[in-house]
Structure 1
């Protein structure tokens, strides 16, 4: 319960915000890191706070970009026996013992979800966001996958095997967008934010 209270009190005043997900193992000299940093910087310049998992790799990149333009840079870290340490670019950091509490914070305070390439954790977070959106359990906000080279195989599987077996509906394939540049990602975030403000000005 204490983790919920800390999260609500810390993140409540920070709005609008974008949750950026991605792999901890993306090297600093990788295309994933470069894109993450550009996205963090672009979102920050447009007035968005950037929320990540607070770790290294793609998470560090997005926090770093936001930090460089003096935008709110938040890290929601998880206590693990390996790999996950604070990246040094999150100006506000919260440490969680429980994944499910951390996920609530990612979703509750976001006006968009941006997915950079990542492993099981990123895939888990992506499908969590898609499921919540599909079932109407979160706001109808953009889910943006960045990097067609990385995501096209998964999307192809969804479009063929999963759809053909009737496990999803065709309309479910519109729950997410696929882009290749920080400019495209930022444009979709801004468009989603404008829709949210128009539909619910008092809540935006």
Structure 2
């Protein structure tokens, strides 16, 4: 087995969560199947592996089997003693500042999620309570900036894009930064890092000192998309559905770059929400963009949307190919419309309260073999419900590709089976085959073995 350099270190909070109660510390130290310790350990290990080429949560955990954390309660606050930690997270024995901030952001979010889960005041089976939970979670993470006009651009896209596509994401981010717009992503590599990297240069040129580079992730996928070092605000939502809702509640517009199953999942999630009759008049700029080399990718995705969700869904986004300036300019114009609408309706700038999100989109989907095979995928369904189930299908594929629980299930039971009407299954199969042939399911250089089987 390959040896990985490690280090022992002791760190204190920076940025958030200087104080924990004795009960919270005790829960964090609990091991076992449902203990918080193992969840915290895995999140921290992923953060310490920022920059890793692995997109496999199991691989990263196996690389550092002796990594341990001791949580020490002190009169002045808390201290984390790390043993056998990845040495790349340190410089001359000191942890890199951005990494240290994110470690304690993970601690903050895990403690908050646990305390809210046990609260009798919140019902996570209720759609309105879930939205309220997302609001309080983001507020606790200090993501809310009341009074600041809309300027957060969410950027979605694959972590395994090629060099040409990655360079294009940086160019778009650069143009967004010139226009004073902030960037929010899933905080990983590839299309999640590129826009942030480009924006940092433009923000510096424009002398913007309060620029925001927001990363939203969740425990199940953090090892595959470990936070990149540009992120200066991190939140680890408890599951993928709350993460997705956080994106659309916090962000003011979305740009989608080329990607794979995870990107398709995000697009379907957003389209399903925008197709809801209650959201018809709410401005939400959505742009799909990439270099000329990605034209076929967008053509395939556009055709898939046409054949499954129909023409109305296609009208919810604009495709801009090989013109990063036009993409940023279009988003800036969209931001003005969002600002005007929020002022006219007295809606908050910092949280999109008016957007209606059906409970189909809010309840966590457990990607088991039974749940995947029982998904209803039919043209007879209301279009926003079909979009929700298509989103779940892609969520299961993401789990089978990179999440530890999904990887273990595939190893034990074989590929997930996806059933549905042929008029849905045929374009789904074609799109997934295109993703595989284009190398969009895994990091470059690794051979992809499908974790799914489309049954016609």
Q: TM-score, normalised by structure 2?
A: 0.40
The residue number in structure 1 matching 2:259 is 118
Q: What's the CA shift for 1:95?
A: 2.1
User: Take 2:143 and 2:325, find their aligned partners in 1: how far apart are those partners?
Assistant: 26
**5+ long unaligned stretches in structure 1:** none
After the TM superposition, list the runs of 4 or more consecutive aligned residues in structure 1 that deviate by more than 6 angstroms: none
Q: Secondary structure at the match of 1:200?
A: helix
The residue number in structure 2 matching 1:11 is 143
User: Take 2:202 and 2:235, find their aligned partners in 1: how far apart are those partners?
Assistant: 21
**Greater shift after overlay, 181-190 or 52-61?**
181-190
Q: 2:284 aligned with 1:153, yes or no?
A: no
Q: 2:197 aligned with 1:64, yes or no?
A: yes
Correspondence list, 1:122-141, <5 A: 122-135=263-276, 136-137=278-279, 139-141=282-284
Partner residue of 2:178 out of 11, 35, 45: 45
Larger Rg: 2
Residues 54-111 of structure 1, C-alpha deviation per residue, up to 9 Å, x if partnerless? 0011101112122333431111123237422111111112223311121111101222
Q: What's the CA shift for 1:24?
A: 1.1
- Alignment coverage as a number of residue pairs: 196
Q: Is the 8 A contact 1:116 1:145 kept in 2?
A: yes
Correspondence list, 1:142-181, <5 A: 142-147=285-290, 148-159=295-306, 161-162=307-308, 167-168=309-310, 170-180=311-321, 181=323
Residues 152-198 of structure 1, C-alpha deviation per residue, up to 9 Å, x if partnerless? 01212333x33xxxx53x33321111002211211221121112222
Residues 36-69 of structure 1, C-alpha deviation per residue, up to 9 Å, x if partnerless? 1112221122121110000011101112122333
The residue number in structure 1 matching 2:161 is 26
Q: TM-score, normalised by structure 1?
A: 0.85
Q: Is the 8 A contact 1:129 1:143 kept in 2?
A: no
Q: What's the CA shift for 1:26?
A: 2.1
Residues 130-161 of structure 1, C-alpha deviation per residue, up to 9 Å, x if partnerless? 111111448421111113332101212333x3
Higher relative contact order, structure no. (Cα contacts within 8 Å, ≥ 6 residues apart): 1
**Greater shift after overlay, 62-71 or 128-137?**
62-71
**Greater shift after overlay, 64-73 or 18-27?**
64-73
Q: 1:81 to 1:112 in 2, by over 3 A?
A: closer
